[in-house]
């Protein structure tokens, strides 16, 4: 069996970490290795991982400088470490989820099938649906795709990913060929999984498995996710100002990563569909200093970019109108 490398960034994860690793031990594909980075936890997470590693040689804690890097920084380091160690297939994970026993087997099989679908090994990202559960593992929604109202899939995945990600890291796997291009993860990216998906749409392929392969746990400690779209504007749950600030920051970082993708494609001279280059060029050029924001919104609307549903697109346009041209350039 070909090995799978799983990377896990965790901070203060003692409540759920053992249950997650137990779900790894129940995988039908047993040839895996788990690389863990503790992001300066204060609850004894590192000690727990060391104990679990002593019990199972497949678990490995990366010794760190104890700096808190956040999810993006931690996963960036982990992905680079996995790549440097020669990993061919890499899975990203969250410590508070549980994996379906066949997750590794099914996603590895799909990766191997898809990457050889053309000449050579294509950069490939495989992602699955998720079952949304609460803190006690009671089902909240059978399908993350349906309850989050995300538009996804080919052939226009890039146009969606310019404005919104539909891939969750805990449900995806990538091959080495994708990491060849995607690493290092840029500091400007909103999150590692969004960047990986964007790169796959540009230079390779995204493959969807409609079957839920993860129990995605929603609780007070995580905030990315699949509550219904409109619940995000419930004033009893969220401060609208906080929600706006978070969304606007994500918008600016998404624009920055689109520019980084354009730069990297040009600098590394990777082969990609001419339509990809044209889409990126058109999108990034719309945010130039010499263009009014109203004109930018008009052109985005005329071209149907980004390819997201109407409510999210309207909010996206508000972000465009709020963007400082000098800071955006």
Domain ranges of the chain: 4-217, 229-328
Mean pLDDT of 50-63: 96
pLDDT given for residue 20 in this prediction: 98
Q: Give mean pLDDT, residues 250-267.
A: 94
Judged by DSSP in three states, 269 sits in coil
CA atoms within 13 A on the CB side of 123: 19
232 or 276: whose pLDDT is higher?
Answer: 276
Query: Higher confidence at residue 138 or residue 117?
Result: 138
Residue 70 Ramachandran class (φ > 0 left, ψ -120 to 50 alpha, else beta) = left
Q: Which helix (H) or strand (E) holds 240?
A: helix 240-268
Query: Residue 210: is it exposed, middle or buried by C-beta count within 10 angstroms (0-12/13-18/19+)?
Result: exposed
pLDDT band at 125 (very low <50, low <70, confident <90, very high): very high
More confident residue, 143 or 273: 143
- Asked if residue 236 has pLDDT above 60, the reply is no
Q: What is 4-217's CATH topology? A: Spore Coat Polysaccharide Biosynthesis Protein SpsA; Chain A (3.90.550)
Average pLDDT value for residue range 61-89: 94
Q: What share of the chain is helix, strand, coil (3-state, %, to 5)?
A: 45, 15, 35
pLDDT at 233: 44
Rounded Cα gap, residues 259 and 33, in angstroms: 34
Q: Which of 146, 152, 136, 112 is nearest to 19 (CA)?
A: 136
Answer yes or no: is pLDDT of 230 > 60.
no
Residue 92 has pLDDT above 80, yes or no: yes
DSSP code for 103: H
Tokens of 105: 């087997």
Question: What is the average pLDDT value for the chain, to the nearest integer?
Answer: 89
Q: Is the pLDDT of residue 138 over 60?
A: yes
Q: Return the beta strands (E) in 186-299 as ranges.
A: 205-217
pLDDT higher at 248 or 311: 248
How many percent of the chain have pLDDT more than 90?
A: 69
Whose CA is closest to 215, among 285, 135, 106? 135
**How confident is the model over 172-176, as a mean pLDDT?**
98
pLDDT of residue 227: 46
Nearest to 230 by CA among 219, 220, 243: 243
Q: Could you give the count of Cα atoms lying within 13 Å of 283 in the half-sphere of its Cβ?
A: 25
> For residues 115 and 281, what is the distance between their CA atoms, to the nearest angstrom?
27
End-to-end C-alpha distance for the chain, whole angstroms = 48
Does pTM top 0.85 for this prediction?
A: yes
For residues 29 and 99, the answer to whether their CB atoms sit within 8 Å is: no
Please tell me which residue, 68 or 224, carries the higher pLDDT value.
68
């Amino acid at each position: 069996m070909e090995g799978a490398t799983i990377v896990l960034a965790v901070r203060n994860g003692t409540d759920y970490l053992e249950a997650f690793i137990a779900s790894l031990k129940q995988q039908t594909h047993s040839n895996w290795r788990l690389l863990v980075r503790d992001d300066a936890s204060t609850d004894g997470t590192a000690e727990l991982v060391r104990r679990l590693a002593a019990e199972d040689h497949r678990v490995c804690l990366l010794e760190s400088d104890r700096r808190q890097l956040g999810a993006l920084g931690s996963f960036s380091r982990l992905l680079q470490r996995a790549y440097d160690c020669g990993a061919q297939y890499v899975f990203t994970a969250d410590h508070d989820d549980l994996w379906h026993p066949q997750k590794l087997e099914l996603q590895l099989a799909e990766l191997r099938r898809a990457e050889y679908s053309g000449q050579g090994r294509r950069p490939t990202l495989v992602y699955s649906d998720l079952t949304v559960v609460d803190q006690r593992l009671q089902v909240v929604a059978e399908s993350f795709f349906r309850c989050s109202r995300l538009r996804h899939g080919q052939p226009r995945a890039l146009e969606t990913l310019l404005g919104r990600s539909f891939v969750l890291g805990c449900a995806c796997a990538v091959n080495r060929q994708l990491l060849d291009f995607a690493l290092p993860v840029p500091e400007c990216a909103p999150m590692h999984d969004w960047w990986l998906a964007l790169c796959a749409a540009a230079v390779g392929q995204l493959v969807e498995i409609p079957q839920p392969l993860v129990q995605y746990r929603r609780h007070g400690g995580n905030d990315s996710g699949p509550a219904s779209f409109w619940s995000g504007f419930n004033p009893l749950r969220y401060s609208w100002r906080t929600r706006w600030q978070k969304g606007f920051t994500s918008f600016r970082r998404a624009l920055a990563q689109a520019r980084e993708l354009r730069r990297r494609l040009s600098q590394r001279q990777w082969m990609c569909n001419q339509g990809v280059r044209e889409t990126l060029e058109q999108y990034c050029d719309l945010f130039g200093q010499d263009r009014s924001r109203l004109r930018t919104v008009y052109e985005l609307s005329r071209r149907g970019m980004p390819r997201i549903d109407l409510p999210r697109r309207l909010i996206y346009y508000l972000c465009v109108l709020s963007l400082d041209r000098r800071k955006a350039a």
